Amino acid sequence: MFLGKIWPSEITEFDDVDSGAKVKQLTQHRAHSHHFYFTNSGWYANNSKLLISSDRNNATNLYGLDLQTGDLQQVTDLEPIPLPREVEFLRACINPTKDETYFWYGLDLVALDLTSLQSRVLYKMEEGWDVSMINCAADGAHVYASISEDMSDRFRVDYLRGYVGFAETWAAMPQSKIIKVATDGSGGGSVFEEKYWIGHVNTSPTNANILTFCHEGPWHKVDNRIWGFDVSTGKAWKIRAPKSGENVGHEYWYTDGERVGYHGTNSDGTKFLGHCHYDDTDHVENSFPGNTGHIHSNDANLIVGDGGRVVRLWKWTGEQYEGPRTLCRHDSSSKIQQIHVHPRFSAPGDQVVFTTDVTGYGNVYLVDVPDFDHLPQIDE
């Protein structure tokens, strides 16, 4: 009924009160809107549009936001699904070779053409399994996702709101799989399986055979968070195994498809930023004061994070990271996953997209990245 509907621009602009950076509030509907999880880019149509999720007409759907005009086009028209499935798009992704997006709807892995708005089912998951992150290979030929045993019949599960059942699922050691599904509709199946909770499948942006995944669960309890996997050989390996008392995670790919970024906590409670080659060599790490939650960067030069109440930046000097400095305030409550800040750089690195509920509702924002040296230092 609402497929293709155009909502008029809701964009407003302002200067951040702390840094003076130019901020655009992209959505203002009186319900939650958010961008994708920070490891998955939502830009498409040659970076002229941003794909977001928004709760409108009492339903959660995808919308294509024209960054020039501000127009919002509704690109799905899905009926709500009750927990534990529900409709949500944090885990969705876009094909890097064409304007097509992939998401879970119930047990169906769906492909949606963002031009024609025609959808098709690529893969039907069997009953008894739960879904996680989707990511598309660099050549656009396959999407990868992790699935694990559905625990909702054993205890209450609501990971997106308060991590309900999160620790219990880890303790249950569910059977998990990484599935590979062809984007041309020719089918798919498992390429890796183990009895440990798997999440956050994340494909290299340049190598169609390489991906990372994580052992999901409370960071201080998992054996090793970050893993690499070669689809062509079936080999899995640890990436940045934590030393005693350390926590390491929130891994993501640099745009070169060769290096993996991450952050963590040292055994003494101090924090560090790091990156390494995906084969677990050439580690570069730097401790820093203060907080961070999720971090993202296109390379080693500039990192964005969402710790505390501000979106913050670190700059590589050639020997260490300088900062953090305030890019802008977010003041998000982060009560549920959909309104976590999850900052992510644009492909050129000149803007950062983030979500916050500072207005009372989750909304999507874009902030211009000014000269680092002109930003205020954060003292924590």
CA–CA dist 302, 346 (Å, integer): 12
Six-digit token pair at 253?
């790919």
In this prediction the pTM is: 0.96
CA–CA dist 131, 104 (Å, integer): 8
pLDDT of residue 159: 87
Domains, in order of start, for the chain: 1-60+289-380 (no CATH), 81-248 (2.130.10.10)
CA–CA dist 219, 9 (Å, integer): 41
pLDDT of residue 344: 98
> pLDDT, tens digit, for every residue of 294-305?
999 999 999 999
> pLDDT, tens digit, for every residue of 20-66?
999 999 999 999 999 999 999 999 999 999 999 999 999 999 999 99
Q: Is 208 left (phi over 0), alpha (psi -120 to 50) or beta?
A: alpha
Six-digit token pair at 263?
């952050």
CA–CA dist 241, 239 (Å, integer): 6
Q: Which residues contact 292 (CB under 8 A, 6 or more apart)?
A: 263, 271, 273, 305, 306, 307, 312, 324
